[in-house]
Amino acid sequence: MWNDSSLSSIIAPEAFVFANPIAQGACAADAIASIGSKPLNALFWCAGSQGSMYPFTGYTSNQFSPQAASVLLSERMAFKLHRQGLVMNSVGKNQEVCYTYPSPIIPKDRYRYQMVNMHPDTAQCHPFGRSVMRWQAGHASPNSRQNFGYLIWRKRNCVFL
């Protein structure tokens, strides 16, 4: 399903609802919020400055830079894993150490990414949706095959006893 847009609609049939100019125009607010601090969880179909989370495929139509495309694909994969129930959300609840539950909608404000491959970015982590324009210069070789690697950080809310 990762390589076929029509098959990806099986796990995300709501993609058709967000495939219009009005819904995509709302993503400007998410992009602005991501630049300032954290992305807006209410706009779950948006990937901030990178574009749209839908469809859950490895295809990107508007590739402004190789880094932006690779970050978008990383964000889409994290959302896809949430949708399939392979990544759980967590919350500290009463006396339980860590209560996990399925979260088919990704909590974008809990995620950060850090480039580790081609040229590591050890200075900082970036929230999902933040523009790559601040750090992309010097992180790709002209002869690279666009093999980028990211360390994905996820905040977990747990109670320590």
How confident is the model over 85-102, as a mean pLDDT?
A: 78
3-state SS string over the chain? CCCCHHHHCCCCHHHHCCCCHHHHHCHHHHHHHHHHCCCCCCCCCECHHHCECCCCCCCCCCCCCHHHHHHHHHHHHHHHHHHCCCCEEEECCCCCCCEEEECCCCCHHHEEEEEEECCCCCCCCEECCCCHHHCCCCCCCCCCCCCCEEEEEECCCCCCC
Q: Per-residue pLDDT tens for 33-76?
A: 988 888 899 999 998 888 888 888 887 876 778 888 888 999 98
**Has this prediction a pTM greater than 0.75?**
yes
- What's the pLDDT score for residue 115? 87
Confidence tier at 161 by pLDDT (50, 70, 90): low
Q: Where are the chain's structural domains?
A: 5-154
